Structure 1
């Protein structure tokens, strides 16, 4: 979408690689005025940031809304909590008033809120009255700028937004995606069985093609049970991306094995009354083969070689007589 998406970036955020400890810029570039609640939010954000940051008790804030992260309570929250303990909360979260007095609903900043709940103290928050669409766009864009969600996290977020009835243009603006980009995420998530993503996790660095390849196995393999077995054998601290690779490798190997077995041949050893090997019989979908190893039974091999054609014709005539296929 290019320029239109930039025009709808509804708040001026620090660069994507800026850490939590970095303070927000006190000024923001002047932006073109936009219609509706989205435009109003951007036009007034500088004033809000400067004049409307409040200290709020964490238990006054409800963790509602759509989740855009698969993992919230992880080691990164511990690191963030330690940073805030040392340096203070430098970047405010954003909330909107709840229907209950002195209560708020989170818009963005769930990780910061979780970290402060760990260490105690109040939360610095921008309080803004937003409708559901503007709130969702603010949540999606802020997360994209601070800690880019993984492909599969975006896919789940898109699925939740669609199931909650958000319009396509709102979903596109929330994640900064084109219509085709949203479709690419949706196609993959719809092919994956429920519960598989939760087993693997966010898998940062694993893109659409890899998730799509894994989804393709679902037609022949029980992905969830396979993933459970694979992940159970891994160390508890295995990174999510490595879990994905282990599950994908196991599914790929199983698919190749099943295909080989389906297209493979049935081989049996023919033995005489004394248990000695006479030869081998190999049967697959296309051929029937009788093999005699001359080195194991040279005399029989020579005898059969001289009579093989006549013996085959005799067997064929016997089949015709027994099946009534003769002319």
Structure 2
């Protein structure tokens, strides 16, 4: 898949519990029955992990393909590098041969590769000759087995895969989702600005309903502006899920304030050229009202009453004519 199909670098902040030292050494695992290509792929991954690991120079591996997490380079890469310095690389990455001689393309293990480039030395890698579809499925399944991506990370990955032209069946296999499950993720991500998601991060533990509720507020308040203002007051170490809650509370509060302001409406005193009050114009979310106080302008009030219906119809017809001429 060419460079034109490469995803934007919008994935970062992986789950806290991903530590190289905590990952188990490759070992045979009891097979579980899974349908179709997903089950076969998982069994295949286990077999090749146990038997086909090679040492490759990191500079011979190209970082391409779709990203499956929010911003790859973050402070946790240094923690992972330190763990590899102490304990070695416990889990191999997977690569496939490149079109260029003696080079490879990453399938999964981008954070491990970035950490080893800091540490130095070779990287343990499984080399497989896979096409684009099989590579994507391997990438998605490995992440699901080891990392449990958050709802919004899966949603972004789905969006990237669809925009890159992958078929629905491949996308479903890559994440182990049904057709409806893919649709549920896509409906939410389509309503959210990309910048908002980058500001909040993966937000592990925040599900479809909560992200959907935040997305629904986009029609009422400027989500990105509120998020920037809210997050600027939080410490840099604030967990992503807490960032989500802070942004959601701030956006909900703004939306309620806007709704209350609209419900209260606005009343304007209309005056003549000398500054004397003629009447009042009241506008709220439900109606527009013109009020003439008979005590202040009894003669004008009588005159308007006699002509109100005719005048209102004339104004309505004028509006229709202007609307028609502008269409």
TM-score bracket relative to the smaller structure: 0.7 to 0.9
Aligned length: 278
Partner of 2:55, secondary structure, is strand
Partner of 2:124, secondary structure, is strand
Larger radius of gyration: 1
- Contact 1:226-1:247 at 8 Å conserved across structures: yes
- Contact 2:28-2:47 at 8 Å conserved across structures: no
State whether structure 2 residue 197 is matched by structure 1 residue 201.
no
State whether structure 2 residue 106 is matched by structure 1 residue 106.
yes
- Contact 1:49-1:126 at 8 Å conserved across structures: yes
> What CA distance in whole angstroms lies between the structure 1 residues aligned with 2:36 and 2:208?
34
**249-258 vs 194-203, greater mean Cα deviation:** 194-203
Aligned position for 1:235: 235
1:104-136 Cα offsets, whole Å, 9 max, x none, are: 111111111111112111100000111111111
State whether structure 2 residue 49 is matched by structure 1 residue 73.
no
Once the two structures are TM-superposed, the CA of residue 194 in structure 1 deviates from its matched residue by 3.2
Alignment of 1:289-300 (within 5 A): none
Gapped regions of structure 1 (runs ≥ 5): 1-16, 270-280, 291-310
Gapped regions of structure 2 (runs ≥ 5): 1-16, 270-279, 310-327
Distance verdict in 2 for CA 1:31–1:196, change over 3 Å: closer
Aligned position for 2:59: 59
State whether structure 2 residue 301 is matched by structure 1 residue 319.
yes
Aligned position for 2:146: 146
Aligned position for 1:246: 246
- Contact 1:263-1:284 at 8 Å conserved across structures: no
TM-score (norm: length of structure 1): 0.74
TM-score (norm: length of structure 2): 0.74
Aligned position for 2:85: 85
Partner of 1:54, secondary structure, is strand
Distance verdict in 2 for CA 1:35–1:283, change over 3 Å: closer
> What CA distance in whole angstroms lies between the structure 2 residues aligned with 1:24 and 1:67?
25
Once the two structures are TM-superposed, the CA of residue 324 in structure 1 deviates from its matched residue by 3.0
**108-117 vs 227-236, greater mean Cα deviation:** 227-236
Q: State the superposition RMSD in angstroms.
A: 3.2
Distance verdict in 2 for CA 1:25–1:249, change over 3 Å: same
Partner of 1:184, secondary structure, is helix
Distance verdict in 2 for CA 1:45–1:201, change over 3 Å: closer
Partner of 2:106, secondary structure, is strand
Distance verdict in 2 for CA 1:70–1:35, change over 3 Å: closer
Once the two structures are TM-superposed, the CA of residue 46 in structure 1 deviates from its matched residue by 5.2
Aligned position for 1:298: none
> What CA distance in whole angstroms lies between the structure 1 residues aligned with 2:126 and 2:295?
92
1:162-219 Cα offsets, whole Å, 9 max, x none, are: 0111111111111111111111100000011232111211111111111111111111
> What CA distance in whole angstroms lies between the structure 2 residues aligned with 1:102 and 1:84?
25
Distance verdict in 2 for CA 1:92–1:218, change over 3 Å: same
Alignment of 1:5-44 (within 5 A): 20-21=20-21, 22-29=23-30, 44=44
> What CA distance in whole angstroms lies between the structure 2 residues aligned with 1:229 and 1:251?
11
- Contact 1:93-1:113 at 8 Å conserved across structures: yes
Aligned position for 2:169: 169
> What CA distance in whole angstroms lies between the structure 2 residues aligned with 1:236 and 1:65?
30
- Contact 1:55-1:122 at 8 Å conserved across structures: yes
> What CA distance in whole angstroms lies between the structure 2 residues aligned with 1:160 and 1:201?
16
> What CA distance in whole angstroms lies between the structure 2 residues aligned with 1:168 and 1:244?
30
Once the two structures are TM-superposed, the CA of residue 47 in structure 1 deviates from its matched residue by 5.0
